[in-house]
Amino acid sequence: MVVPLAKMPAQSIEKLVVEAINRPAELGSLMLPVRGGSCHIWAGHHFLEGPADALPLLVCHGGPGVPSDYLFPLGEQLQRPVIFFDQLGCGRSDRPSPDVEEYSIAASVGDLVEVIEALVANGLIPMQGGRPAYHLYGQSFGGILAFEALTSELGLPLPRSLTLSNVPSSVPVLLAEVAALLADLDGDAAGFDAAHVCRSTPRPPELLAAYAPGHPGHHWRGVDVIADWSAPEHGLHSLTLPVLLLAAEHDFVTLRSMQAWQQLAQQHLVVIPGAAHHALLEQPEVYGACLESFLRQHESASTNNSQHS
């Protein structure tokens, strides 16, 4: 019998959170050099036996500055290898001072390029036809990072597909939507959190672990540091690979704040019913089945159009 967290003693809930934080012990872990070897980024890989042709999924977490823990359940829902990494400045990765290393979207894009190169060198992303063969996934800010990396000129190897989960195409529009949702709740922040961030009660231990004291970053964190970002038109028009847009019925990242993604050439939108911003944790089976089905459709290089810059 599964005992609901709400009926468990506080000590038992705390134990679950500690176990969630320590979960990388169950993953294959390594530290990857970035920025000329001056910094290292933690990566963890979850290998589940699945179809022989199932390519790995590389996962970009959100925040900025909220580490990968809340996305670890992807490894249980998908029939393929899943690779996580904590962006510089948070989680298990190095946390250099902003006086020493730059924190920005552009710097994070450069880190992602180096992470993929290192994953290829370590055999975690296979080579097929002379190119790295993988899928790319970003949740919330992680989707902004993935989109910027794919539309930059830094040479990110093109994935077979891109998944943008709960990702705004315009942060200014997102902030306006959040203000309206808060106004509807008479400014009740706790009510907003329960309705639009995560509707699971109590909170899943993976989400609590991601926000455990000292685990998130503090140098560069939260929506304020990306408040002016919107997807540029040239990027929207140049990105031609298959894109899955995952939204959620009650997410504060509303469909209006995702509207520009509709301009992508090969986008497919799915709205997860009854869920909010952390749809993976709220509706894991529905979410996982939808994502795995999309990935299976795009394993072959022949299903992926050429990328134009």
DSSP-H helix ranges across the chain:
10-21, 74-77, 105-121, 141-150, 171-184, 189-192, 205-210, 233-238, 279-282, 284-297
Query: Mean pLDDT over all residues of the chain?
Result: 90
Write the pLDDT tens digit of every residue in 105-127: 999 999 999 999 999 999 999 99
Q: Do residues 263 and 234 make contact, with C-beta atoms less than 8 angstroms apart? A: no
Q: How far apart are CA 89 and CA 40, in angstroms?
A: 10
- pLDDT given at position 8: 38
Predicted local distance difference test score (pLDDT) of residue 15: 56
Amino acid at 108: S
How far does CA 81 lie from the centroid of its chain?
Answer: 15
Q: Whole-angstrom Cα distance, residue 6 to residue 49?
A: 34
- Strand order, beta sheet including 243-248: 28-34, 39-46, 82-85, 57-60, 135-139, 162-165, 243-248, 267-272
Task: Report residue 87: phi and psi, to 5°.
Answer: -65, 155
Q: Which residue has the tokens 């036809």?
A: 129
pLDDT at position 3 is 30
pLDDT value at position 118? 97
Which two three-digit tokens encode residue 295?
Answer: 């990935």
Q: Supply the DSSP symbol for 309.
A: -
Q: How confident is the model over 11-22, as pLDDT tens digits?
A: 444 555 555 555
Calpha distance 211→216 (Å, rounded): 6
Fold classified for 48-299: Rossmann fold (3.40.50)
**Which pTM does this prediction carry?**
0.91
Residue-range domain boundaries for the chain: 48-299
Distance CA 56, CA 50 (A): 11
Two tokens, residue 282: 């709220």
Can you tell me the distance from the alpha carbon of 273 to that of 282, in angstroms, rounded to the nearest whole number?
10
pLDDT tens sequence for the chain (309 residues): 223 334 334 444 455 555 555 555 567 899 999 999 999 999 999 887 777 789 999 999 999 999 999 999 999 999 999 999 999 999 999 999 999 999 999 999 999 999 999 999 999 999 999 999 999 999 999 999 999 999 998 879 999 999 999 999 999 999 999 999 999 999 999 999 999 999 999 999 999 999 999 999 999 999 999 999 999 999 999 999 999 999 999 999 999 999 999 999 999 999 999 999 999 999 999 999 999 999 999 998 765 544 543
CA distances from 309 to 79, 129, 290 (A): 32, 21, 29
pLDDT at 13: 46
Q: C-alpha angle with apex 47: 167 to 45, nearest 5 degrees?
A: 60
Query: How much is the pLDDT for 52?
Result: 77
